[in-house]
Amino acid sequence: MPNRWPLVPRQSCDRAIELLGDHRGLALVGVDGVGKTTLAATIAERLGEATPVRVKATATQAAVPFGAFGPLVEVHEVGKPAALIHAALESLLAQADSTLIIVDDAQLLDPLSASLVYQLARCGSGRLIVTARAGATFPSAVTAMWEDGLLATFDVGPLDQDETQAVLAQLGQPLDDEYRRTGGNPLELRLHLQTRSAATSLAGLVDAYLAELPAGARTVLSYLAVHEPLSRDDLAALTGEDAVAEAETAGAAELFGEAVYAGHPLYIERMAADADPADTRRLRTEILAQLAAQPHRHLGDRLGRAVLALDSDSPEPVDDVVAAAQQALRLGDLTLSERLAGAALARCERFDARLALSYALAWQGRGREADSALGEVDAAALSEDEVMAWALPRAANQFWMLSEPERATAFLQNTRKRISTTTARLTLDALSATFAMNAGNVARALEIAAGVLAAPEAEDMAVAWAASAAALCSARMGRFDQVETLVKRALDAEHPGLLRFTVGLAQTTTLLMTGQPDAALEVAAEFTDFAELAQPGRAIGEVLLAQVLLAQGDPAGATRLLRPAAATLERTGYSWGPLSLMYLTTALAQQGEITDSAKALSRADSRHGTKSALFAPELGVARAWRLATVGDGTHAAIDAAREAARGAERSGQLGVAVWAWNEAARLGDAQAAGAISKLGETVDCAFTR
C-alpha cells in the first residue's frame, strides 16, 4: 500500500469553502480518521495556497507553553502572558509566507498556543482552519473561538459511497461488502486495506496495523510516543536511518518541515497506552541524552526538556527544576508549575519551590492545599525578604480562598512587626487596603491606598494593589473623575494577573454610571479576549460583561454568561464567586425564572461574607428582583431595594447607592427619585443629572 493516500473531491469541500469565505476561520470537527486534515489540505489547494502555515499539536507538546508553535514564533520571556501572546502573534504573522494558517488537532493545544490561535481568529489578517476531534475535551480558548462566533464549525462526515468508490478505484480495489463495513471512514479504510484485518473497530484496526509494522518503524513510533515531534536527525541518531525510512514508507511517520511526526495521533495514543513504564523511562533518558548537546531552540524547549526529565534516569539539577517551575508560573501555566515545583520538593526542601507551588495551587482556587504548602515553612528561619515572599500569598490565600478574613488581617499585622524596611511595609499596607475594600470599608481602603501611592518607595506590586483598590473604591463612592488616573497607574505597574479585573470593574462601573454603555461594553469585552481565556480569568471577564448586559436590559444574554461563570467561580474563594451569583439571581429574576433565581440567591447568600462585603448592595438588589417574581411581591421587593441603597449609603458607596435607588425605581418605588436627587448633591453621574 503506498504511503500517499489518494485524494478525491469531496462534496463537502464546496460548503466548507463557502463558510470560510463568510467567517474569519473554520473549525473542521469530526471523529478520528474521518479526513479532517485531508479536507483542510484540499481546501488550501482549492484556494491556491500552495504553502499554508501548518501547525500540528501533539500530546507531548500539550504539556509545554507554546509547544505546538515551537520554532514558528520568536518571543522572549516577559512577565505578562498577554504581552507574550501579542509578541508571539506579531512574530508569527511577520514570518508567515501565506495568508492561510492550518492548525491540526486543536484538542491537543497547550493553553498559550490555544490563546494564540484564538487571537489569530480574532485579529488575524489571514484565514484560519482548525481541525478538532469530535467529543474531545478542548482548552477553553479553543471552544471560545466558536462560542464567540469567530470560527464557523463544520462537521466532517465519512466518505459517501461514490467517494469511497473513487478512492478504491485509484487503488485498484473493489467496493465489496467487506470494505463497506468501514463506514466510509478514510483511516479505517486505509488500515483495513493495509492489514486485511477483520477487526471492525478503528482501535482494532490501528492495533492490527501497528502489529504488522516492521520493527524499525515501531521503534520510531515508540520514541515519538514519548516526545513528538523529534527532528529527523535526532530520530535517525536514536533509531537508525533505515528505521526512519521504514516508518515514513509505511505511513507510520511523516516528515513535516524538519521534524518527524506520527502518521496519525491514534498511532501514538495506542503505542503509549501499551508501553511498559520501564521502557518509556529508558526512552525518555535516551532522548534527553540526544538533546543535551543542543541549545534550547525556542521558549517552550526549555520547559519541554524539564518535563521530559521528570520521569527519566537523568533528572535535572533541582535549581533548574525550580527555575522551570517559576518560568511556568510567569507564563500562566499553573498546572505545569505545580508539577515541576512538586517534583523539586520531592527531592529536597526548598523555600523557593514551596513558594512556587503555593502560588500555582492558590491561583487554581485550591486554597487549602496552598495553605498547607505554606504552613510547612519554618518562618522563624526566614530572612526579611523571605518573610515578605511567604507572608503575602499566605495572607491573601487566607482572606479569599479560605474565607478567613479576620485571621488574614491579624496575620498581616503580626507580619508587619517583623518588617523593618519602608518599602516592605508599604507592600503590606497595599494588601491591607485590598482587604479593607473587599470587607466593605471603602473609606479606610482609600485612605491606606492613598498613603501607599504617595510614597516614592512603593514597589510595583504595592502600587498595583493600592491603585486597583483605590480605583474601584473611587468608582463605587461616586468619585468618577478620579478613576481613570488610578486605572492608568494600576495598569502601568507589573502586577498579579487577576488584579486587572478589579481595575476592569472600576472602569465598567464608571462608564455605566456616567452614561457610556457602549464604551462599557467595549471595555468588558476586552476581558474575555485571548489574554484571559484561562480559568478563572475567563469567568471573571464574563462577570464584567454580564454586568454591562444587565445594565443594557439584556438579562438573557447575561444569564448565558453567568451560568458557567458562576459554576467556575464558586469553586474558588474569590469574591467574584458571590458577585457572579448575585448578578445571576438578578438576571434570572428579570426573566421571571422563579425557581432558578431562588436557587441562585440561596447560593449567593451562603457564599457571601466579609471577603465580599463590598458587594452587599448587589446582594440586596438581587434579593429585591427575586422578591418581585413571587406573587404580589412588589412591596417586599421595593423594601429590599431601598435597604440595599441605604446600606450602600451607610458604607460610603454613594455611587452604588445611586444605582441601587435606580433599581428601586425600576421596581416601582416612587420615593427613589427624591433619594437620587439628594445624592446628586454629591455624586455627578448620568442618573443624578
pLDDT in tens, 98-124: 789 999 999 999 988 998 898 888 876
Residue 601 lies in a domain: no
Mean pLDDT of 656-685: 95
Q: Please, are residues 611 and 404 in contact by the beta-carbon 8 Å criterion?
A: no
> 368 and 244, same structural domain?
no
570 pLDDT band, cuts 50/70/90, is confident
- The whole domain housing 42 covers 11-157
Residue keyed to cell 438573557: 556
Kindly state whether residue 29 falls inside one of the protein's structural domains. yes
Report which of 538, 59, 540 is spatially closest to residue 262, judged by C-alpha positions.
59
Q: Which residues contact 202 (CB under 8 A, 6 or more apart)?
A: 32, 33, 185, 187, 188, 191, 266
- Tell whether 18 and 103 lie within a shared domain: yes
- The H or E element spanning position 103 is strand 100-104
Cell numbers for 565, please give them.
Answer: 461563570
First to last CA, the chain: 79
153 and 16 within one domain = yes
Residue 41 placed within a domain: yes
In a domain, 683, yes or no: no
Among 23-32, 43-52, 488-497, 548-557, the range of highest mean pLDDT: 548-557
If asked whether residues 153 and 19 sit together in one domain, one would say yes
Record the pTM: 0.83
Residue with cell 491579624: 410
Q: What is the dihedral of CA 670, 673, 679, 685, to 10 degrees?
A: 140
For residues 602-621, give the mean pLDDT. Answer: 96
Of 401, 420, 439, the last residue of a domain is 420
The CATH number that applies at residue 59 is 3.40.50.300
Q: Of 420, 444, 471, which marks where a domain is finished?
A: 420
Average pLDDT over the chain, rounded to whole?
90
Query: Does 236 share its domain with 283?
Result: yes
Instruction: Answer yes or no: is 335 within a domain.
Output: yes
- Answer yes or no: do 60 and 139 share one domain: yes
231 located within any domain: yes
Cell 499566605: give the residue: 394
- Say whether both 38 and 86 belong to one domain: yes
Last residue of a domain, one of 393, 420, 447: 420
Residue 362 pLDDT class (50, 70, 90 cuts): confident
The verdict on 33 and 153 lying in the same domain is yes
Radius of gyration (C-alpha) of the chain in whole angstroms? 29
Whether residue 561 lies inside any domain: the answer is no
The domain total for the chain is: 3
Cβ neighbors of 393 (< 8 A, separation 6 or more) are 355, 358, 359, 362, 370, 374
Query: In terms of pLDDT, which residue wins out, 304 or 619?
Result: 619
The full length of the chain comes to 689
pLDDT per position as a tens digit, 188-214: 888 887 877 766 678 888 999 999 999
∠ CA 483-484-487, nearest 5°, is: 85
Tens digits of residue pLDDT in 444-478: 999 999 999 999 999 999 999 999 999 999 999 99
Q: For residue 531, what pLDDT is reported?
A: 46
Axis crossing angle, helix 202-212 with helix 186-195, rounded to the nearest 10? 40
The CATH number linked to 321 is 1.25.40
Position 559 pLDDT exceeds 50 = yes
* Residue 612 forms part of a structural domain: no
C-alpha–C-alpha distance, residues 378 and 189, integer Å:
63
Confidence of residue 72 (pLDDT cuts 50, 70, 90): confident
Q: Say whether pLDDT at 390 is over 50.
A: yes
Closest CA to 583 of 617, 606, 610: 617
Same structural domain, 286 and 354: no
Same domain, 58 and 114: yes
Percentage of residues in the chain with pLDDT exceeding 70?
94
412 and 344 belong to one structural domain: yes
Report the pLDDT value the prediction gives residue 533, as an integer from 0 to 100.
Answer: 54
pLDDT surpassing 90 at residue 89: no
Cis before 578 (ω within 30)? no
Residues 225 and 353 in one domain: no
Q: Cell triple for residue 661?
A: 435607588
Residue 2 has pLDDT above 70, yes or no: no
